[in-house]
Amino acid sequence: MNIDYPIALCTATVIAATPLVFAALGELIAERAGVLNLGVEGMMLAGALAAFAASVTSGSLLLGFIAAALAGCVLSLLFGLLTLRLGTNQVATGLALTLFGSGLSACLGRSYASLPGNALPPLHLPLLSDIPVLGPLLFRYDAAVYVALLLVALVSWTLFRTRLGLVLRAVGESPRIADALGHPVNALRWGAVACGGMLAGIGGAYLSTAVTPMWAEGISAGRGWIALALVVFAIWKPWRVLFGAWLFGGMTVLQLHAQALGIAVPGEFLSMLPYLATILVLVLICRDPRLLRLNQPASLGRVFQRER
């Protein structure tokens, strides 16, 4: 086998993983603040459509990504309004958001379904991209892949090295105490939820402009839910999100290339792989309750309303 093939598999893995990195990182921020938003799938779909529509209409992919971030953000603010302002059940509200986002994107996206899309071009870095093996392996991705990597580093640094991150973690552990100490609990939660929405939107944008440059109803195919599982798998640590996403990206690629690799299993069973892997990975992490207890934000999913 020629060296190009494994390289192609690796790069395809990274590309398949990137939407998961964005979406899971966003959810990680929200969950670190104690908010469980099950609407990731809906926000990704909204982002995917917004990016596709905006980039096709304007011809600018940057505008597409901005539109996606906005779309995800708007949906997450709707979620914030209900859960943070009105104190509704986070699980039920998140489910409603997913249904709403899926329906809305399918509804509004009908006229875009057959259009050709703009694909995110790979970068060509002088010298670096031309290094044999390492060049195609590391330096020929589109810009969003590098942005995702930078974001992982940025979120990790912010969470564990800055005061903002410290306060966010404190809010996620006990909003009551954080409030008693005078920290703006709800403002931080709003911010975290909005970040989650923007990143989910961007993750969706990457789907419809890079992974498969097109729009189709339900294009995310459960990736929003996998992103949610990834956050648990990562025990709420950004770097582990990255590795988890690569694992799942690899699973997707394996499924597409199974034929070429000579694996004779029906396509449907290969398509089950990411979902089964998600279950397996969740079981492996959750079977040790102490691990969760030590890492999970203690107030996750609980309503906090300030006493007046």
- For the bound state, the minimum distance from the C-beta of residue 163 to another protein, rounded and expressed in Å, comes to 6
Residue nearer to another protein on the CB measure, 92 or 115: 92
CA 218 to chain centre: 16
Residue 14 in contact with residue 246, Cβ under 8 Å? yes
- DSSP label at residue 118: P
- For the bound state, the minimum distance from the C-beta of residue 266 to another protein, rounded and expressed in Å, comes to 6
What is the residue type of 261? L
- For the bound state, the minimum distance from the C-beta of residue 294 to another protein, rounded and expressed in Å, comes to 6
- DSSP label at residue 263: -
Query: Contact residues for another protein (CB under 8 A)?
Result: 38, 42, 78, 82, 86-89, 91-93, 95-104, 106-107, 110, 163, 166-167, 169-170, 173-174, 177-183, 217, 221-222, 225, 228-229, 232, 266, 268-269, 271-272, 275-276, 278-279, 282-283, 286-287, 289-290, 292-294, 298, 307-308
Residue nearer to another protein on the CB measure, 71 or 151: 71
- CA–CA distance from 214 to each of 69, 75, 116, 173, 229 (Å)? 18, 22, 6, 41, 26
Residue nearer to another protein on the CB measure, 49 or 61: 49
Residue nearer to another protein on the CB measure, 106 or 143: 106
Partnered with residue 142 across adjacent β-strands are: 122
- For the bound state, the minimum distance from the C-beta of residue 146 to another protein, rounded and expressed in Å, comes to 30
Give me the numbers of helices (H) and strands (E) for the chain, helices first please: 13, 0
Provide the phi-psi class of 127: left if phi over 0, else alpha when psi is between -120 and 50, else beta: left
- For the bound state, the minimum distance from the C-beta of residue 49 to another protein, rounded and expressed in Å, comes to 11
Residue nearer to another protein on the CB measure, 140 or 173: 173
Select from 263, 278, 258 the least CA-distant residue to 12. 258
Residue nearer to another protein on the CB measure, 62 or 181: 181
Place of tokens 């912010």: 158
Give the dihedral of Cα atoms 106, 111, 113, 119; nearest 10 deg. -110
The H or E element containing residue 295 is: helix 289-295
- For the bound state, the minimum distance from the C-beta of residue 91 to another protein, rounded and expressed in Å, comes to 6
- For the bound state, the minimum distance from the C-beta of residue 33 to another protein, rounded and expressed in Å, comes to 14
Residue nearer to another protein on the CB measure, 212 or 271: 271
What is the residue type of 217? E
